[in-house]
A and B are shown apart, each in its own frame.
Chain A
Amino acid sequence: MRIVVSGIGTVSAIGLNVLETLHAFAGKKSGLKPLSLFESEHKGKLPVGEVKADNRMLAEMLDIHPGKTISRTALLGMLAAQEAYNDAFLPYRKNEGLRIGFISGTSVGGMDLSEHFYADYLQSPTKGRLRQVVSHDCGDSTEKIAFSLGISDYVSTVSTACSSGANAIIAGARLIKHNFLDCVIVGGTDALCRFTLNGFASLKIVDEQPCRPFDESRQGLNPGEGAGYIVLEKDTNRYPQSYGYILAGANICEAFHQTASSPEGEGALLAMQTALQNADLQAGQIDYINLHGTGTPNNDLAEGNAVRKLFGATPPSLSSTKAYTGHTLGACGGIEAVFSLLAIKYGLVLPNLNFTNPIAEHGLIPETEYREHRKIKTVMSNSFGFGGNMSSLIFSAV
């Protein structure tokens, strides 16, 4: 049995849905803008990948009463997950008796609300609005999204930092393979908040200019936000359309350092090798790699070195889409899975913005022009996180 992708949905700095996203790619329009979403020392200065809708607008789009306290992580997740759910025609397939699950990856859950609670709580333990802290845990956004889709057969949340979304996809595929579910919506969601923004700033891996993935002059990443989900189902289901198959995923731990990758890229290499092995493919069969490519000196050096080791002198077409969206943390595995499937479905070459000179150590040159109608059959998507949690997914055309 194969596992097919029958629906996709995404929201990020470059679009509130798949169509807007496609337009942004075609027009090479980056979503990076100086922070405006909330009060912060970085406001108006640091370029970030904000979704161009505030919570009130998101609630309106979702038909939610604006007075309700819902974390932005949940709102973004609902928007993308509903798009994917509708895309697979699932609202019209209730009579098929499918066991449907929902697995979401997130790195900070409802922190966008709980950081407000905590500021008041620090003044006095009796202060702080409780409704801003009850959604702190990662499961809250997942349950709200699942509820909005009417899913109750299986609900789960994965959190492995920046590979959360990719690992949710791997977990979901396993549940279908083992016939625990017939269909599962998988991916990730994360909202920008002061906690993560300052976390990355404290690590000195944030670029005060728009990020330059895989460029020699890169200085760091730009934090972003968004959500991306895909619908996986058994290919024996009566699905109305398909974007491709998920052939394999690999989840490994580099076991090297809590935040850094080994410069040689051992973990990235192991993740990509394992994914190829699980998919029963040779390196030469990959047509496009959607790199993790955050723009930090460490990641792009390590990931590039690994790509060189695995693919040799003539690597496949590759690019990082982080200069469009910023680094969407726990969501990026889901969002970039959507991008990878779009690349397959429409034969798109997704450009790597802000690239001028290759990194001396590996000399990889990513795609810089947008092109359509290329033959892209097999795509690899990388997502790497703190703690050495590194994952690689492989999708292929049907």
Chain B
Amino acid sequence: MKETVYITGASSINPLSLQEPDYKLYITDPAARRRMSRAVKMGVTAALQCLSGAGEMPGAIITATGLGCLSDTEKFLRNLIENKEELLNPTPFIQSTFNTVGSQIAMLTKNRAYNNTYVHRGISFENALLDGMMMLAGGEAENVLVGSYEELTATSFDIQSRLGFFRKGGKSGEGAQFFLLSAKEKSPCILRDLAFAFRPAPDELPEKTAAFLLKNKLLKTDIDMLISGDGGNEEEFTCYDKIEKNFPETPVVKYKHLTGDYQTVSSFALWLGVQIMGKADSPKRILIYNHFRNINHTFILLENSLHHTI
């Protein structure tokens, strides 16, 4: 992509915090707040935190989620089943749509710009990022808000457990991360590029990595840090191992033992990358690699603008 994309804002609400933020401080209108589920409050608050330092309104709001507003979905389903389709409260139905967070952000910030929601399993967040990067590259917007939200419910935990996800070390998780991408304003962290791979064989991964780096005119040795999605799940280890062995000299950072795993968890990896790039002795380039259940694989390349040569 021609345009340089800077990450000028980043926020995260994640299981590492000792307690959830006081949502009232961010969503100050009680009328707006009262219908919001935890997922919506979490997503909207992360977005508002991200925007709090920004001068201009974003020219696009792009949201990602794997399972959307689960607790509202369950609530409406339960009412429907228990009340035999009669006397149903419409609120959980309204709030259950996947675009609730994106549209609430728009409503609370009175932003009528482009507004989209991506919902494709482990690549929802990367789909949203790609859309945002292209909008910047095409001059459709000068800055865009991109983020994700995911909530864990007792039901989704039960289902993961019954599907055997925890048997080999998988952990469930949740969280919301939002980012402000800008083509105009500069920051230390450049979002250089991203790539997808659908169901590659583990042996194809080094080649896919090389192709991605080559496209960006880089060699393996140009990568100074790898953020790996390995979270100790044996069933997902092979692919991470392939990538990590492909960068034998590069320091590897892992995070899923802290956040758990969920469809849009790579947004936490990006948040981590942005934090690291903001440090004085930051690496020049960070590669983020993640895959979801061995099916959807993604690479995100970050570059420090202080080292950036044009």
Expressed in whole angstroms, the Cα–Cα distance for A138 and B98 within the complex equals 9
B68 near A: Cβ within 8 Å? Answer: yes
B135 neighbours in A (Cβ, 8 Å): 174
B80 near A: Cβ within 8 Å? Answer: yes
Whether B120 pairs with A138 at a CB distance below 8 angstroms is yes
A152 near B: Cβ within 8 Å? Answer: yes
Whether B198 pairs with A199 at a CB distance below 8 angstroms is no
- Kindly identify, within residues 102 to 140 of chain B, every residue whose CB is under 8 Å from any CB belonging to chain A: 102-104, 106-107, 109-121, 123-124, 127, 130-131, 134-135, 137-138
Chain A binding surface SS class: mixed
A139 near B: Cβ within 8 Å? Answer: yes
A159 in contact with B112 given A107-B97, A178-B137 (CB within 8 Å): no
Expressed in whole angstroms, the Cα–Cα distance for A177 and B134 within the complex equals 9
B152 near A: Cβ within 8 Å? Answer: no
Q: Which residue of A lies closest to B98 (CB)?
A: A159
Expressed in whole angstroms, the Cα–Cα distance for A252 and B107 within the complex equals 12
Whether B94 pairs with A41 at a CB distance below 8 angstroms is no
Output the least CB separation between B257 and chain A (Å).
24
Q: Which residue of B lies closest to A41 (CB)?
A: B85
Q: Which residue of the partner chain, among B100, B112, B127, contacts A156 with CB atoms under 8 Å? A: B127
- Kindly identify, within residues 80 to 134 of chain A, every residue whose CB is under 8 Å from any CB belonging to chain B: 107, 109, 115, 118-119, 121-122, 125-126, 130, 133-134
Interface hit among B43-51, B155-163, B230-238, B269-277: B155-163
- Contact string, B259-283, partner A, CB cutoff 8 A, digits 1/0? 0000100000000000000000000
A199 in contact with B85 given A160-B99, A389-B99 (CB within 8 Å): no
Expressed in whole angstroms, the Cα–Cα distance for A209 and B97 within the complex equals 26
Whether B112 pairs with A267 at a CB distance below 8 angstroms is yes
A318 neighbours in B (Cβ, 8 Å): none
- Kindly identify, within residues 241 to 262 of chain A, every residue whose CB is under 8 Å from any CB belonging to chain B: 251-259
Expressed in whole angstroms, the Cα–Cα distance for A139 and B109 within the complex equals 29
Pick the most buried of B66, B121, B263: most chain A CB atoms within 10 A of its CB. Answer: B121
- Kindly identify, within residues 184 to 209 of chain A, every residue whose CB is under 8 Å from any CB belonging to chain B: 194-195, 198-199, 201-203
Interface hit among B13-21, B70-78, B217-225, B242-250: B70-78
Q: Which residue of the partner chain, among A42, A126, A157, A161, contacts B85 with CB atoms under 8 Å? A: A42
Interface hit among A22-30, A218-226, A380-388: A380-388
Whether A255 pairs with B94 at a CB distance below 8 angstroms is no
Expressed in whole angstroms, the Cα–Cα distance for A178 and B135 within the complex equals 10
Q: Which residue of B lies closest to A40 (CB)?
A: B85
A270 neighbours in B (Cβ, 8 Å): 112
B61 near A: Cβ within 8 Å? Answer: yes
- Name A residues whose Cβ lies closer than 8 Å to a Cβ of B: 40-42, 107, 109, 115, 118-119, 121-122, 125-126, 130, 133-134, 136-140, 142-143, 152-161, 167, 170-171, 174-175, 177-178, 180, 194-195, 198-199, 201-203, 251-259, 267, 270, 385-389
A-B pairs with lowest CB-CB distance, top 9: A387-B103, A199-B93, A253-B115, A139-B121, A159-B98, A202-B88, A202-B90, A41-B85, A157-B120
- Name B residues whose Cβ lies closer than 8 Å to a Cβ of A: 1, 35, 61, 66-68, 73-74, 76-78, 80-82, 84-86, 88-90, 93-100, 102-104, 106-107, 109-121, 123-124, 127, 130-131, 134-135, 137-138, 155, 158-159, 162-163, 196, 198-199, 263, 295
